[in-house]
Amino acid sequence: MTQQRSRMAQTFERMSTAVTAWTGSTPALLTAAAVIVAWLVSGPFFGFSNTWQLVINTGTTIVTFLMVFLIQRAQNKESLAVQLKLNELVAAMHGASNRLIDVEDLSEEELKVLHVYYRRLVEMSKKDEEIGQSHSIDEAAERHEVKRAKRRST
């Protein structure tokens, strides 16, 4: 049963990848335009009837409905691939904060906290005379603590 599901999933994966690639192509656009032209040309033959209008409305609604899910699936796959590549870069880079691996899984509130840290890094970088100077989140936090301790002692 699991192997059959796996085969079905693989078949669906190949099919949706092929459909996604084709629908983004010039032949797909030309096909869609040809369908519209054929529908328009057939209007006088059908007397521009309600059925004639219903055909194009139904067809475009079905295609649009399916395309929404196909596009979302393609975006999800692409987004996951980009996140994995970024995770690899963060993990492989000496000095990079491993806290950023899988950062997309953090809550919005946690992301806002990280954003504040990075805003601090931007401010630190703006104050440096040397454009190549690098800072880390930990360095920003340490400097903040030193400044806080100095303020408390005065």
Per-residue pLDDT of the chain (154 residues; tens, 9 = 90+): 678 888 898 998 899 999 999 999 999 999 999 999 999 999 999 999 999 999 999 999 999 999 999 999 999 999 999 999 988 888 888 777 777 888 888 899 999 988 988 888 778 777 766 655 566 666 666 766 777 787 788 7
d(C-alpha 83, C-alpha 90), whole Å: 10
Distances (CA, A) of 4 to 1, 8, 10: 5, 6, 10
**What is the pLDDT, as a whole number, of residue 151?**
73
**What is the pLDDT, as a whole number, of residue 126?**
75
**What is the pLDDT, as a whole number, of residue 128?**
66
**What is the pLDDT, as a whole number, of residue 129?**
63
Residue 43 has phi, psi (to 5 degrees) of -55, -55
Cβ-in-10-Å burial (0-12, 13-18, 19+) of 128 comes to: exposed
d(C-alpha 3, C-alpha 137), whole Å: 46
Read off the pTM.
Answer: 0.64
**What is the pLDDT, as a whole number, of residue 120?**
82
